[in-house]
Amino acid sequence: MEQKYALLNQGEDNEMDVTGYRTERWRQILCIIGYIFSLGFLPLLFYWKPEISVWCKCTPCSLDKADVILFRTTDEYKQYFKKKVSVIYPSLQGAKPDQVIADQNSIISKCLMKSKGKIRCVKVQKIHCVWDASESQFRKIGILDEGLSCSDIHTKYGSGLSNEEQSLRKQMCGLNKIEVKIIPIWKLLFKEIFNPFYVFQAYSLSIWIATNYLEYSMAILLMTAMSIIATVYNLRVQSIKLHKMAESYNSIMVTMLQKNGEIKEVESQSLVPGDVIVLSENKLFLPCDAILISGGCTVNEGMLTGESIPVTKTPLPNIDNSVPWKIHCGDDYKKHVLFCGTQLIQTKPHGKDLVKAVVLQTGFNTAKGDLVRAILYNKPISVKLHKQALRFLVVLVFIALAAATYTAVVYSINGASVHDTVLMTLLMITAAVNAALPAALTLGLLYAQTRLKKKGIFCISPQRINMAGQLNLVCFDKTGTLTEDALDLYGLLPCEGSCFQKMHQFSSGNTLHWGHLLGAMASCHSLIILEGKIHGDPLELKMFEGTNWELEGYIPCSQKDGTSASCTMVKPGLKANKVPVEGISILHQFPFSSTVQRMSVITQAIGLPGLTLYLKGAPEAVVRYCKPETVPHDFSERLDFYTTQGFRVIGLAYRSIDIDFQELEHLQREDMECDLTFLGFLIMENRLKPETSAVLQELTTANIRTVMVTGDNLQTALTVGKNCGIIPTDGQIILIEATESTEGVPPSITWRPLCEMQASRVQTKKIHIDRRGDQLFYPTTCGNFHFAMNGKSYQVIVQHFYDLLPKILLNGTIFARMTPRQKSNLIEELQKIDFYVGMCGDGANDCGALKVAHAGISLSELEASVASPFTSKIPNIECVPMLIKEGRNALVTSFAMFKFMTMFILIGLFCIVLLFWRQKLLGNYQYLMQDLAINITFALTLGLNGPAPKLAPYRPSGHLLSPPLLLSVFLHFIFTAMAQTTIFVLLLQQPWYSETDVFSACLPLNHTTANVTTREPRFAENFLTATMFPVTGFNLITIGFVFSKGKPFRQPLYTNYWLLLLVIFQVASYLFLLFADFEVVYYAMELVCTPYAWRVHIFITMLVHFVVSYAVEEGFIENRMLWLKIKKIFNYKSKSQYRKLQRMLENCPNWPPLNKTDYATKSVSTMNGRFMICNETVHQIPMVDIKEQITEQIYL
């Protein structure tokens, strides 16, 4: 059966549907004819909607015969893009391509065997994909096959590739480079110009020029050009920055090992997956992802993690099994991988062997390539707002079409020429969208971006600023974000004879005496010497400084067989106590991993026999590998005592081992880390940043929920959460532990209140509405209780208790021991229940979460946080409320601009409708004054208001079609229609009104026409235009002033000096034109004189209109209390998922569960973001059993 559809990148963030199409010549010819008859609109439509282009030009076919592929993202955005299929004919001199591939199971080999020397490929988002006929799907190329086992990598690729295979792979995979071309200015310009808004603007300008309305046309053209130039400039600067970032170290010289044993220097661009590179001591920025297969090395992964500390890499073990190497290594596979863009700092050969690595991925498949692609192909934002804006504009288009129809009918009835009728009808359509709207919205965001930049917050995606104004939940990393980066040594709690001894205080200046505790602190770390300074993890730096020992770099260590190996040496410093050894050699290291939560080293004390293994890590992880008889009976109590005070506690242990040096490189971690002797606790103090508590209090007061998402210990996170205010003093904590199924017992979830709280205190779930000043405070949680869990429990809940996850997230406050992937998943799950989520982290392991959040703000400026929408130079979380304030300001400004531009169109449209009734129209200079003096000035200055100094306890509306906004536009239009209609009707009833004699209304009653100089009135010189011009002018000024609101999200209008001065100038100008009797002014503005009493009448009418408009906007539209009462009367309930959960749980007597364990009878999955609920067996177990089950969980 022919396969027309497939899935690409299944399970990944960029998962896409793939559909095959074949181009039809006759369809292409029809489309060309359509281009001509549509006057160029059809190709524009194809440009905006590539899927329509494919559907019109091609017919569906099987993927193996397709010459065009249509991709569609499977996320909520459903983006389409098309790609042409290209064909590669790999060729080699003297050999068939399929005969030179060493691994016959590789993707390349399969493609060559089935394709008869022809490879079909497509390039999608910079990634090369080839057609695999054996599996009937496109597969990524440029990567080493994921199914390879550890032994496969060593045996098939450990010796390098032959010249022939290397050449073949290069032809198929392409060059190893991350190339981002600087987008030419003309391309950026055309992309911006072909935006639908600007296309409509071009149509409007052409009509205005045809009606000889040149001045305003030129002004709009100039303003639009400035807006486009500013946008193109920013895009160009970003393109250059991205090009430089991607190009760095794109072409460097590397040492490559070939299959024949030859070692040669080659350009990094020629590397292909499967090549073997030899690593040397020089500082090298890695040009590809590679698997370390021999030797050890230290790298700086700041580009990836945002944390510029050395990371130790170990070789992939050569284990003979058929399990894929990533599955075998589990979550720790990264400790064997050298990532592209990271810096090689040091290498450590084992004996005489070379330090070698097998190229794993090249080009855009690498870690750095993923980072660049995330920036190039970032997901669109504000989809709901965009859709609402389109709906709003569609309504305006229909209004304009109705007005155009009215114009055509009126002009036809009055016998106007066809030319005038068509021209005026087309002119009426231009009123659908205010020509200044796109530029005005862009300017508003640019102003906000500039204000943020002055505060030290940099933004690469200005559209995200509006999203920041909607945040009602912010997730924070702990270390380096809420707390200081550096830890301070507090003390050492030694253990001897299974009993804790007296605390050793470092603050007293006492130095440690010789013993295993000193040995562990001096050697159990991954510190290195770089340019004469010690570099490494801040925790390990503090620990090592406490010993007063000194670190030396890699030095030769003689072995028993006479050979030598390099190792790190530590020696006593001048301030250290005398010890019976010259120093300690660190012979082998098992690096720290967040999965196993420990690290260990094998050492030799110089001058003493035997080897010693030292281990440090999370106390609950360390104690598992210790002999039970060496662990104090009050281990948990002591650990709880220190962690509840917010201290960081590290467990230490050791064992003596007797092995040969030759066996070191072949040791398994599990064989060495066992039967240890527990040494005690190293206690470190992690202090809150001075600004943390005040900022969190500010957010809480503003009804913005705060959540901690950290990789640290749960108990430490709880303590920090209480100290900084994330958990209020009267808040109750419920610990959640979820475990996988074991020995026939299904997965379970246990709920336990911390500190033996009474259930009656926890189950207070009524949603209270507090008054804070004159505002209402609506909490976003259900009750005053807080769930806390670790990453393992979170993962089990996602897999087996997904129906409970939304309920848990509603009150989930502390998430500890979370991996980077779990952090990202947590934010996505919060977004599914309609929270607008912000994320603030220091870049270390937070990159994924920063990208998926509605507004991610990084406190790190390293490359890792380039993909974050916001980067702050402020090294603390003060940047978060700053961003939210500016976001609210920008969002309110955008909506105010939208309302003003809409009312500007409606006011002008209604005026034209009235004037067209008598076939009249305002003069060009009259329109010019409205458009330039009012429309353009408000567009330029409305966004100059700064944000309010204080966060309001509620958010601005994020819905463009919200009832208050629509009602505001509707009521102001009614007031406009009433004012204009009243003036229009009264004018027609005035005794002096005449359509022919327009120059005698101001003359005395006894005047004679002989004394009057007469001339033929121009088109706009009549009483109707002379009256409607000031009426619409004052109307527009009123609307602009009314919509320029300040509090509670923006600073008051009087702080916007430019706008205030311009409003005063506008009012003064219109008053002058209304009451000044200067013939020169009348002639220049195409006005005629009207009786003074009539002008006073106009002024009074517009003054009443101003008072009514302002009173209605401030007293009704912006009256939050009134709207809440209206919602209550009509029983309106929020449709947000988290609000629905609140209402549901408020009436649930069994929530939250306390002192019970629930068991899952089957796993729960998700589909399209909806909840799939499984049947659960709920079983109450005794409190004593719960205590036993939770003892370990509290410290994980």
Tell me 930's DSSP state.
I
Of 1178, 1182, 929, the C-alpha closest to 1067 is 929
For residue 20, report the phi and psi dihedrals to the nearest 5 degrees.
-95, 140
The pLDDT of residue 777 is: 44
Which one from 145, 289, 477, 712 is the annotated catalytic residue?
477
The pLDDT of residue 1186 is: 36
Tell me 1044's DSSP state.
-
Alpha carbons within 13 A on the beta-carbon side of 600: 24
Question: Average pLDDT for consecutive 10-residue bins of the chain (1196 residues)?
Answer: 72 81 92 89 89 92 88 82 85 59 63 68 86 80 85 87 83 85 87 83 84 78 81 83 77 86 88 89 82 87 65 85 84 84 82 86 87 75 68 81 85 82 84 78 88 90 88 89 80 89 77 88 86 80 87 67 68 84 87 79 87 91 90 88 82 88 75 90 86 92 92 80 87 89 83 59 40 45 81 90 92 87 88 91 72 86 66 90 94 91 90 85 85 87 91 88 88 94 92 82 60 67 90 94 89 90 93 87 86 92 94 89 86 86 85 85 43 38 39 38
One-letter amino acid of 500: F
Q: What secondary structure, in 3-state letters, does 1107-1137 show?
A: HHHHHHHHHHHCCHHHHHHHHHHCCCCCCCH
Structural contact between residues 704 and 725, judged by C-beta atoms closer than 8 angstroms: no
Dig out the tokens for 861 from the structure: 């400026």
Of 123, 128, 126, 122, the C-alpha closest to 173 is 128
Q: Which residue has the tokens 């039809």?
A: 24
For residue 1171, report the phi and psi dihedrals to the nearest 5 degrees.
-90, 135
Q: What is the SS3 assignment for 1042? A: helix
Give CA–CA dist 601/618, Å, rounded: 16
Structural contact between residues 476 and 845, judged by C-beta atoms closer than 8 angstroms: no
Q: What is the SS3 assignment for 341? A: coil
Asked if omega into 1149 is within 30° of 0 (cis), the reply is: no
Q: Characterize the bridge pairing of strands 785-790 and 732-739.
A: parallel
Give CA–CA dist 899/388, Å, rounded: 13
Q: Which residue has the tokens 């494919």?
A: 54
Of 369, 294, 313, the C-alpha closest to 142 is 369
Helices in 681-772 by DSSP H: which ranges?
A: 692-701, 714-724, 759-762
Contacts of 937 (CB under 8 A, 6+ apart): 1059, 1062, 1066
DSSP states of 114-159: HHTT-EEEEEETTEEEEEETTTTEEEE-SB--TT-BHHHHHHHHTT
* Residue 415 burial (C-beta neighbours within 10 Å; 0-12, 13-18, 19+): exposed
- Compute, in degrees rounded to 10, the torsion defined by CA atoms 747, 751, 756, 757: 180
The pLDDT of residue 2 is: 61
Of 292, 214, 365, the C-alpha closest to 932 is 214
Q: What is the SS3 assignment for 299? A: strand
End-to-end alpha carbon distance in the chain = 52
Q: What are the CB-based long-range contacts (under 8 Å, 24+) for 545-552? A: 545/489, 546/489, 546/506, 546/512, 546/521, 547/511, 547/512, 547/518, 547/521, 547/522, 547/576, 548/511, 548/572, 548/573, 548/574, 548/575, 548/576, 549/522, 549/573, 549/576, 551/527
For residue 794, report the phi and psi dihedrals to the nearest 5 degrees.
-60, -40
Q: Which residue has the tokens 């939770």?
A: 1190
Dig out the tokens for 1123 from the structure: 């709207």
Give CA–CA dist 437/448, Å, rounded: 17
Asked if omega into 1048 is within 30° of 0 (cis), the reply is: yes
> Hey, CA dihedral for 975, 981, 984, 989, is it positive or negative?
negative
Give CA–CA dist 471/456, Å, rounded: 20
Predicted TM-score (pTM) of the model is: 0.77
Tell me, yes or no, if 477 is annotated catalytic: yes
CB count within 10 Å of CB 738 equals: 27
What is the chain's Cα-based Rg?
36
Beta-bridge partners for 736: 751
Dig out the tokens for 1142 from the structure: 């609140």
